[in-house]
Chain A
Amino acid sequence: MSKPATLLELSCVGKQFGGLSALKDVSLHIKRGEIYGLIGPNGAGKTTLFNIITGLYQLSSGEFNFNGDSYQTTKSHLLAQAGIARTFQNIRLFSHLTALENVMIGRHAKTHAGVFGALLRNKTTRSEELDSTNRARDLLRYVGISKPSQTLAKNLSYGEQRRLEIARALATEPLLLALDEPAAGMNATETESLKALLQNIRATGITVMLIEHDVKLIMGLCDRVAVLDYGKKIAEGVPDEVRQNPAVIAAYLGAEDE
């Protein structure tokens, strides 16, 4: 392994929206191959951190390194091409396209056909297209979507839409899969199968990072967990350690002396 063991590293990252600072001096690192959880009460800055990692927001201060490269100011599509794929808290599928097309769009950065390729539809383009279609079908099966691949994304069930988002993200062949509340709104059975899916994904060598409210899922799945509160990291460590941390208990339940 010539690449560093740390896949993603944030040091002293801050983010201001006008006068409001959503994140203050947050430092964390994610190792290759682990499942990393990010928890915290509502408004703690989890999604802000997520949006910085995926290039939706630019950080106001601090440093952001991914896979050995620094990303101070960047764009979403560049980070996606570098290997960070994400899902969204409120599902953002291409809802009027088919499930298959959704996943094929995830292949965009890994394919190359341009206008001339499209017009001439030469051998390279055709084999690329065939490969995209096959991979997309495989991914749909992999995440467990049984409906026909020609079903419109908006007509899939809620749980399947969540899975389709994961399939679409996997199509970009990411190094880091970042999931924003993947279990939100799922019932116990669905959450259980999501857990199995994420473990499978990790087993293929993809690093997973997730924000989640379902503490049981986080504790049962993650190798390490960080806790954010009011834009600051108040704890980090293996789940059992974090669970015992007084600061975490205080943040979730309120401190005794307050």
Chain B
Amino acid sequence: MKKNLPLCSPISPRAREIICIILFVAVLPFLTDALLGRGWVRIVDFAMLYIMLALGLNIVVGYAGLLDLGYIAFYAVGAYCYALTSSPHLALAYPLLFPDGLHLSFLIVLPLAALLAGGFGILLGAPTLRLRGDYLAIVTLGFGEIVRIFMNNLNAPVNLTNGPQGISMIDPVRIAGVSLNTTQQVFGFSLPSVHLYFYLFAGFTAVVVFVSHRLEKSRIGRAWMAIREDEVAASAMGINTRNLKLLAFAMGAMFGGVSGTLFAGFQGFVSPESFSLMESIMVLCMVVLGGMGNIYGVILGGMTLALLPEVLRHSIVPLQQAMFGRTLIDPESLRMLLFGTALIGVMLFRPAGLWPSRVRRRELATDEAEQ
């Protein structure tokens, strides 16, 4: 019966939904460009990288319940992977081997970076299998810092990462001969670079959402949630908790690696500064604030936290000018103050996140009913 449904009605409600989303995404960069300016398209691009990161972390934290404070390390692995293999940098270190540096294609580096990041995920997961909660958080925090410090110091004796200066002149993403850092003409539309990257990132975000969604509603996803709820009971049900925890770390890390690769190609420059502890915490905030375990919540959280600082940055000065006639407080310090206040506010008034998962929502509702 179900199979015949699409034949009966030409467009099912679900297909209509998807078409609407695609149309919205297609016009979004033009809309943003026209209303707010090109700088904002770039900001939205970055927001999508963060959404991918948050969705990856959601697998580890939201599904499997493993608190990871060093998640940005996988982003770094992906970014450096692309930076090393697609820039003139290697020519500095090994002029004989690579006279022009290595310039591998994006489509080759991407899977490699994902696999490498996944490997790093297992590397982090293996020694921490017996740890939970705060202990796990401390070890993962250490792991994140180790990776960053390595990137910072691996410029001697062998110059692999160029240390704190970072790697620059990274090749832009190039797919099928189309370089995404130039304006392209498609069907009479002029698509600037930020628009092209927007569509690329939107595509990848869609894949990440799809993968998360499928995993959540599967045997693997249920096993992860069982581990999150009660590890002893999970293993008494025949779940190999070791393998499934490693799988969660690896899957989450792969998403981070993909996002990092895109970041390196988009930015054209990577340095250890981009992978500080603050970034890990920011991504974790997106997951928790949006609604742990709920894909749409995590997307909302990622979008909010990535855009809010920019919104505040652009609105504080005009606001003060309008209210007091001059700028009283330095916008940069006020911005973080407001940002922190917003975080506290959300956690106080929406403890399960902006858009909690169905289970969390029901749970809070019944808690209130019991009180």
Contacts and interface: CB of A to CB of B under 8 A. Distances in A.
B154 interface: no
A51 B222 CA distance: 24
A250 B211 CA distance: 63
A47 to B, nearest CB: 13
A119 B214 contact: yes
Contacts of A113: 218-220
B215 A115 contact: yes
Given A94-B226, A95-B229, A118-B220, A77 B240 contact: yes
Contact of B363 (A56, A75, A96, A104): A96
Interface string A55-84: 110000000000000000001110011000
Interface string B212-224: 0011001111110
Contacts of B226: 94, 97, 105, 108
Interface in B12-33: none
Contacts of A77: 235-241
B232 interface: yes
Interface in B218-263: 218-223, 225-226, 229-230, 232-241, 247, 251
Contacts, number: 109
Contacts of A86: 236
A97 B225 contact: yes
Contacts of A152: 359, 362-363, 366
B360 interface: yes
B223 A92 contact: no
Interface residues of B, number: 30
A128 B219 CA distance: 10
Please report whether the interface of chain B is mostly helix, strand, loop or mixed according to DSSP: helix
B225 A94 contact: yes
Contacts of A93: 229-230, 233
Residue among B223, B232, B238, B251 with the highest chain A CB neighbour number at 10 A: B238
Given A77-B239, A97-B226, A115 B247 contact: yes
A155 interface: yes
Interface string B332-371: 0000000000000000000000000001101100100000
A168 B220 CA distance: 17
Given A96-B359, A154-B363, A155-B366, A85 B236 contact: yes
20 contacts: A56-B232, A76-B235, A77-B235, A77-B237, A80-B235, A80-B236, A80-B237, A80-B238, A92-B232, A94-B225, A96-B363, A97-B359, A111-B219, A113-B220, A118-B214, A118-B220, A119-B215, A129-B218, A152-B362, A155-B366
Interface of B: 211, 214-215, 218-223, 225-226, 229-230, 232-241, 247, 251, 359-360, 362-363, 366
Given A77-B236, A80-B237, A118-B215, 10 more contacts: A85-B237, A92-B230, A97-B359, A105-B222, A107-B219, A108-B223, A111-B219, A118-B219, A152-B362, A172-B238
